[in-house]
Each structure stands twice: as C-alpha cells, then as structure tokens.
C-alpha cells in the first residue's frame, strides 16, 4: 500500500463505507511587453542577423505560455475531490492577464475527469453515471450499460447532454449485466453517494469493474473520494487498485492519498463470487486504514504536540475557569 500524507493541498480521514466499522504560489512569467513593443515599431532591417534577433522575443513568449499551460494543467490534474470549480476560479485569478489559458485546458479537464471517475446525472435520469477511459466512445461521448444510453460530456462544466440509446455489443454481455446487479447491491449496502460501472475493454477480451464513492463536507472543510478499479481477465483473475483521496483544509492544508494494489484469484466466474471477493478485499483495506489512522493519532501526531507547557506544569483548566468566572463577578460588582 502506498500512502502519501502531504500538506501541499487542502483532508480529514473519513470512513467512505460501512465495510469496516471498528508552497508559495508558483510564478507566472509574463512576456516583456516593453521589449516586444519596441521591436514591433522597429524599422524593418534587411540584414540577416538582425531579422533573427527580432524573432527571439516571440519564441521566448511561446515558451513562457507553454510553461504557464503546463503549470495550470498540473493544478487541474491535482484538484482535490469536489473542488475542481474552486481550482478553476483560482486559476482565473492567477492568470487574469492570460485569459486564453482557460480555453486551452481541455486535455487537462478530460484527464482529470476520467482518472477521478467523475460522475454526472444524465438529463431525465435519476442516478449518477461514471465518466472514465473505460467507457469512452471517443469525441467526448461515453456510454452507460445499466441505462443503455450514451451521452456527450463537457469536461470543463462536467455536464452531460445529447443522450442517445446505446446497445451493448459484447460476448460477455450476460456476465456484465449480472456484475452490475451484484455490484449495485454491494454499493448500496456499504457506500453512500456511490456510482459504479462495468464495461467490456480491450476488444472485449477483459471486463473493467469501477466503483467510486464521494463524500463532500465543505462546511466542515473536508472532502473525500474512494475509487476502486478491477480488471477481470479470461483466466478469472482480478487485478486493480483501491485509491482514497481525502482533503482537510480548516486552518491548514492537509491531504491524504493512498493507493492499494489488488490482485485476486476468483474461484468461480459467477458475478456473485466475483463481487464477494471484491467486498472482502475492500473490507480488509478499510480495516487497515482505520488502524493506520489510530496509529497516526496515538503515535506520530501525538509526538508533534508538546506534552507540557513551557512552565513544565500541567494546566489546571478547572481553576482557570474559576478565575474567569471570578473576574466576571468582580466586574459586575463594580457597576453597583
């Protein structure tokens, strides 16, 4: 299991299911407008070396713009769960003199939404469906097996439109539909605010099983996301990963990122057996996370705090409260 605890982004550990109960802002270089302006009004020269020198500021400006685009794309791709809109607003504020950058972030938005298993409610639909590379039809269209529909997805606004009927063509269609039913029960029992999907991939030779659970609490300054991805091969083996991303930003900026590789052997190729193995793996990982949180609280975090104040004496809070009440009574008596 790979665990990253970083203070680079806004996370409070939170339980995503009921399976287990027990730097300064980066600089944005600007083109030297005065220098460029001077060259714009310079008289044309026929000397070959002079023309070369006149092109240099343009090349530097293009490099700077590419650097800015790379930086803000990294901001988008690293956005915490449920906070993409906030990140975009910050990018607009930081690049107010380069507004065209926002229009160039399409690839970054697409990468973020597909990797994070973004969810969207289809027009006229009642449940959220997943957007990922595994159910992409290309050109911004995606399909959902359970709803038998395909749709366009705007990666910048995270809105769906142009819903059309979609018929699954797969030799594994029966197994895929059975897996959807079993996975729906698993998600309903253990994950609030979750979405799931099962899709044929790699020319129908494998099946991708996805589950994402989001838990947002911006009023309490934290948001979190659980993502599960499993690839089922013809040899009845499950290989994938579980990822947890939690962001806590009250009077600070802390982010918890964990990745757990999963490799399972399924004794039976039935949907019930496959989902049962998934449930066992996710329950074990949840229990390990809970143990890790307890260890951090009683170990590393406790070690960061001073055991005694500078006076090397325990603070007697009861007496302090008594002193405070005494001063209040004295002040009230002064008014008589």
Strand-pair category, 194-201 with 159-165 = unpaired
Instruction: Give the residue numbers spanning the domain of 260.
Output: 171-304
Domain assignment present for 208: yes
Phi, psi of 66 (to 5 degrees): -65, -40
pLDDT given for residue 35 in this prediction: 42
Q: What is the pLDDT of residues 143-201, one digit of tens each?
A: 999 999 999 999 999 999 999 999 999 999 999 999 999 999 999 999 988 999 999 99
**Integer Cα distance of 132 and 229 in angstroms:** 11
Q: Kindly indicate the confidence band of residue 268, based on its pLDDT and cuts at 50, 70 and 90.
A: confident
pTM for the full model?
0.72
Task: Compute the average pLDDT of residues 121-147.
Answer: 94
**Integer Cα distance of 233 and 133 in angstroms:** 18
DSSP 56-104: HHHHHHHHHHHHHHHHHHHHHHTPPTT-HHHHHHHHHHHTTT-GGGGGG
Q: Around 126, how many Cα atoms within 13 Å sit in the side-chain half-sphere?
A: 1
* Residues 273-306: b if buried by 16+ CB within 10 A, e if exposed: ebbbbbbebbbebbeebeebbeeeeeeeeeeeee
**Cα separation values, 120 from 30, 124, 138, 159, 184, Å:** 37, 12, 17, 7, 17
Q: How many domains does the chain have?
A: 1
Task: Compute the average pLDDT of residues 91-97.
Answer: 88
Least confident range from 10-19, 125-134, 300-309, 324-333: namely 10-19
Q: Among residues of the chain, what percentage have pLDDT more than 90?
A: 56
Q: What is the mean pLDDT of the chain?
A: 81
Least confident range from 75-89, 244-258, 298-312, 316-330: namely 316-330
Task: Pick 129 or 320 by higher pLDDT.
Answer: 129
Domain assignment present for 180: yes
**Residue 146 burial by Cβ neighbours in a 10 Å radius (0-12, 13-18, 19+):** middle
pLDDT at 38 over 90: no
Domain assignment present for 206: yes
What CATH number is associated with residue 180?
Answer: 3.90.1150.210
Domain assignment present for 203: yes
Task: Pick 314 or 332 by higher pLDDT.
Answer: 314
**Cα separation values, 199 from 55, 112, 212, 325, 331, Å:** 51, 20, 15, 66, 72
**Residue 225 burial by Cβ neighbours in a 10 Å radius (0-12, 13-18, 19+):** buried
**Cα separation values, 19 from 183, 198, 274, Å:** 14, 21, 17
pLDDT at 250 over 60: yes
Q: What is the pLDDT of residues 222-245, one digit of tens each?
A: 999 999 999 999 878 999 999 999
Domain assignment present for 22: no
Give the 3-state secondary structure of 35-47: HHHHHHCCCCCCC
Domain assignment present for 281: yes
**Integer Cα distance of 292 and 296 in angstroms:** 6
Q: Kindly indicate the confidence band of residue 328, based on its pLDDT and cuts at 50, 70 and 90.
A: low
Q: Among residues of the chain, what percentage have pLDDT more than 70?
A: 73
Domain assignment present for 14: no
pLDDT at 107 over 80: yes
Residue of 210, 204, 194 lying closest to 275 (CA atoms):
210
Q: Kindly indicate the confidence band of residue 321, based on its pLDDT and cuts at 50, 70 and 90.
A: low
What SS3 state is found at 194?
strand
- What's 25's DSSP letter? P
Alpha helices in the chain (DSSP H): 33-40, 48-77, 84-94, 106-115, 173-190, 271-295, 301-304, 317-334
Q: Kindly indicate the confidence band of residue 45, based on its pLDDT and cuts at 50, 70 and 90.
A: very low
- What's 296's DSSP letter? I
Domain assignment present for 94: no
């Amino acid at each position: 299991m790979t665990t990253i605890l970083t203070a680079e982004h806004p996370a409070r550990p939170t339980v995503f299911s009921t399976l287990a109960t027990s730097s300064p802002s980066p600089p944005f270089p600007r083109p030297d407008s005065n220098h460029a302006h001077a060259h714009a009004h310079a008289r044309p020269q026929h000397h070959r070396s002079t023309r070369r020198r006149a092109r240099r500021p343009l090349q530097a400006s293009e490099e700077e713009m590419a650097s800015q685009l790379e930086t803000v794309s990294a901001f988008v791709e690293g956005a915490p769960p449920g906070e993409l809109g906030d990140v975009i607003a910050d990018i607009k504020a930081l690049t107010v003199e380069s507004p065209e950058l926002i229009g160039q972030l399409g690839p970054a938005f697409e990468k973020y939404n597909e990797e994070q298993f973004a969810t969207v409610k289809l027009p006229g639909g009642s449940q959220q469906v997943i957007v990922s590379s595994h159910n992409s039809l290309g050109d911004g269209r995606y399909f959902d097996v359970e709803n038998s529909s395909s749709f366009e997805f705007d990666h910048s606004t995270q809105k769906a439109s142009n819903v059309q009927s979609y018929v699954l063509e797969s030799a594994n269609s029966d197994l895929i539909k059975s897996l959807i039913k079993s996975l729906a029960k698993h998600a309903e029992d253990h994950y609030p605010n979750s979405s799931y999907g099962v899709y044929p991939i790699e020319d129908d030779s494998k099946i991708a099983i996805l589950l994402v659970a989001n838990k947002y609490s911006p009023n309490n300054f934290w948001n979190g996301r659980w993502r599960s991805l499993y690839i089922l091969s013809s040899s009845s083996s499950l290989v994938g990963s579980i990822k947890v991303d939690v962001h806590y930003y009250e009077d600070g900026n802390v982010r918890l990122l964990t990745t757990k590789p999963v490799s399972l052997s399924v004794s039976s190729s039935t949907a019930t057996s496959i989902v049962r193995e998934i449930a066992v793996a996710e329950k074990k990982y949840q229990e390990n996370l809970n143990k890790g949180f307890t260890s951090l609280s009683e170990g590393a975090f406790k070690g960061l705090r001073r055991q005694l104040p500078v006076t090397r004496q325990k603070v007697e809070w009861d007496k302090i409260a008594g002193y405070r009440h005494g001063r209040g009574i004295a002040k009230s008596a002064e008014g008589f």
